[in-house]
Structure 1
Amino acid sequence: MDKDRKKWMAFCSANRVYLIFAAVFVLMSLFAPRFFNTYNIGTLLGTAMLNGIVVIGFTIVLICGHLDLSTVAIINVAGNLAIYMVQKTGSFGAGILAAVVAGIVIGIVNGLLVTRAKINSFIATLGMSTLLQGLVSYSNNAATRSITDFTMTDFLDKKLIPIVPNRALIAIIIVLLVHFFMSRTTMGKNFYLVGGNVESAWYAGIRPEHYLIGAFSLNGAFAALGGALYACYLASAMADIGAMGVSPLNMLIAASVLGGASLAGGRGSILHSFFGVLTLTALYNGLTCFKLGYEMQIFVNGIVLMIVVLMEAVSLYRKNKLAGSKSDLFKQAQN
């Protein structure tokens, strides 16, 4: 009986993000007015596009045991750069490509600051965030850039699959591809090894600094891609996307930890983080159905952040308590 109980608890722990998502979705469907209908579900999926793409790179950095606080600033830079390039060239492709290249360059700089300059990732990316945000505000005088071409808006709003808008479909495809790369390829699994034990990675012939630079570069690329697509969808870009309500950074941290990523590194799942985004998006969407404003969403987001931080603290406590025990050594030997 005790063995079955442990198996059930292990199952719930491994799949907690799916169980929480199901609970939130069912509760909101039962009690939130006009939540459970095809239009609102499509809106919910579409709303998750930005954070659903950005959380990919953010989770990879967490898996490597680091935190990138410049992610939101990269979104802002990418959105403004994409709109600027569309204004100059008339091409959405050129705008998105320029934004992604800029995101990769910023990610490489962050990675070099952490690996070569030996600056703590928290400090390095916080400084980069301040620099980038100042650059965006200065470049457009804190105003909103906008275009009158709504071609991308129409395309991303269309539905190749019923209920699912194209912008959500793009996010889902990217998430599945990167999830496969991280979970099924040797290179993807090396990110976990670097985050879990740098010395073991080095002894295994892996260059940890290369993977860390790669992780920050991927974060820059996906943050820029999400920011550029979102700006092209809105046909405008704000100087600070965080001014629209709940900060994307809060959402990314909460969604990643909710999905099982550890702030200590070595653990996480792209797919789980994406479902973390869907869970929080469903929660905020349900609050909107109750006609509660951004203030309540920010308050609830604070509560969620407190809960996930507590969950992470408990997880780290149990890990440290078990470190060196027979069960822990046996588990390590199996891996």
Structure 2
Amino acid sequence: MLKTGRNGKISSMVNRYRIVWLCIITFLVMSIFAPHFFNLYNFTTILETMCLNAVVAIGFTIVIIMGKLDLSIGSNLTLGAMFVIGFEPHFGWTISLLIAVISGGIVGLVNGLLVAKAKIDSFIVTLGTMTIVQGIVYLYANGGALYTKDTGLGGWLQQSFIPLFPPIVLISVIIILVFEGILTFTRYGRGFYILGGNKETAWLAGLKTDQYLIQGFTISGMTAALAGALFAITLNSALPDLGVSSTMQVIAATIIGGASMAGGEGSVVKSMVAVLTLVILYNGLTLLGAGNSIQILFSGLILAVVVLQESFSLYQRNKLRGQRVELLKEFSLKR
């Protein structure tokens, strides 16, 4: 019988909460070396910046848990931003926000239908919709930025009624916690993990796998569009290339947060902490005088390390699974 010692428990705990430790270490390093990092205004800026990709990461994490990929999140983010600003003068903020979120949901629905029903690889599907939606965005805005004269809602979302936590941050965190609760504590939410872990097992368990795929991609489209809309409202403007950098950042953050590209693993809250870690890193680099090229270089290095680590972990799991199969065969022969 195997015994787990104290060192094993510590190692397990460190690995389980590795993103939390990484976030704390990054925060401490930047607090020491980056000038003007440790102040209330900068912390508020960090949290507000985190909200954009953290909300996008909600749906993307669900897609990754299912063992799929959604490259259209950046385009959906831009679509939501453009529509909420573009429609606001005609319909007001509430209807414009609904139009933006529903539009993202429609794109996600198309992705889900093509993946679930047409059996097309999610990479190919979402690469196509990413390009199409980005084209729609440029046509809608004539390649330029959109602005709104109604700055009331944007100002309110950034008001610091509670120090460090303006409404935009509180709303984002509440949405994230709701989805984390659904994934963790409901039968419906656990179905995404079962589907990502083993599709045959999911089918045998009675899960309607096609419906899960369609709903997962639809949620991804809606949360990306919602993030873009909220961000555009706070800026009182929308740019046609707003979501260009978000795709790679969200992918990196989700994997750093513990999600597996193979499916069956992931946490919305851990993805949020990973996004926060990257925002702290970029914020600190900016305060240290690092240019945009250096930040892009760091993004590439982080993503490369994450992909290598994920590939190695997947190799180890497959190797262990193969060893177990060989042991079962040997046991069967002996019997």
The TM tier, using the shorter chain, reads: over 0.9
Alignment partners' CA distance in 2, 1:185 and 1:59: 17
Asked whether the equivalents of residues 253 and 275 of structure 2 are also in contact (C-alpha less than 8 Å), the reply is yes
Asked whether the equivalents of residues 28 and 283 of structure 1 are also in contact (C-alpha less than 8 Å), the reply is yes
Q: How does 1:1-335 map to 2 (within 5 A)?
A: 3-89=5-91, 91-242=92-243, 247-325=245-323
- The residue that corresponds to 2:332 in the other structure is none
Alpha-carbon deviation of 1:148? 1.4
- Number of residue pairs the alignment of both structures matches: 326
Cα distance change of structure 1 residues 68 and 146 upon mapping to structure 2, 3 Å threshold: same
Please, what TM-score do these two structures have when normalized by structure 1?
0.94
Alignment partners' CA distance in 2, 1:269 and 1:166: 23
Alignment partners' CA distance in 2, 1:200 and 1:182: 18
Q: What is the root-mean-square deviation in Å for CA atoms of aligned residues?
A: 1.8
Deviations 1:210-253 (A, max 9, x none): 1010100100110010011111111111111146xxx1011101
Alignment partners' CA distance in 2, 1:10 and 1:329: 26
Which SS does the other structure have where 1:266 is aligned? Answer: coil
Unpaired runs of at least 5, structure 1:
331-335
Q: What residue identity is the alignment partner of 2:316?
A: R
Cα distance change of structure 1 residues 231 and 328 upon mapping to structure 2, 3 Å threshold: farther
Alignment partners' CA distance in 2, 1:7 and 1:119: 42
Alignment partners' CA distance in 2, 1:226 and 1:327: 44
Asked whether the equivalents of residues 45 and 165 of structure 1 are also in contact (C-alpha less than 8 Å), the reply is no
Alignment partners' CA distance in 1, 2:121 and 2:98: 30
Which moves more between the two structures, 16-25 or 136-145? Answer: 136-145
Q: What residue identity is the alignment partner of 1:81?
A: F
Unpaired runs of at least 5, structure 2:
329-335
Alpha-carbon deviation of 1:160? 3.0
Alignment partners' CA distance in 2, 1:168 and 1:329: 51
Alpha-carbon deviation of 1:5? 2.2
Which SS does the other structure have where 1:206 is aligned? Answer: coil
Alpha-carbon deviation of 1:293? 2.2
Cα distance change of structure 1 residues 59 and 133 upon mapping to structure 2, 3 Å threshold: same
Cα distance change of structure 1 residues 77 and 328 upon mapping to structure 2, 3 Å threshold: farther
Asked whether the equivalents of residues 249 and 299 of structure 2 are also in contact (C-alpha less than 8 Å), the reply is yes
Deviations 1:295-314 (A, max 9, x none): 11111101110111111011
Alignment partners' CA distance in 1, 2:195 and 2:327: 19
Please, what TM-score do these two structures have when normalized by structure 2?
0.94
Cα distance change of structure 1 residues 184 and 329 upon mapping to structure 2, 3 Å threshold: farther
Alignment partners' CA distance in 2, 1:3 and 1:323: 24
Deviations 1:151-203 (A, max 9, x none): 12211111232122221111111111110110011100000000110000000
Which moves more between the two structures, 195-204 or 165-174? Answer: 165-174
Larger Rg: 2
Alignment partners' CA distance in 1, 2:327 and 2:26: 37
Alpha-carbon deviation of 1:40? 0.5
Alignment partners' CA distance in 1, 2:286 and 2:85: 29
Alignment partners' CA distance in 1, 2:215 and 2:184: 16
Asked whether the equivalents of residues 75 and 243 of structure 2 are also in contact (C-alpha less than 8 Å), the reply is no
Deviations 1:87-141 (A, max 9, x none): 222x111111111111111111100010111110000000001111111111221
Alpha-carbon deviation of 1:321? 1.2
Deviations 1:255-295 (A, max 9, x none): 00010000110000011000000000000010111122221
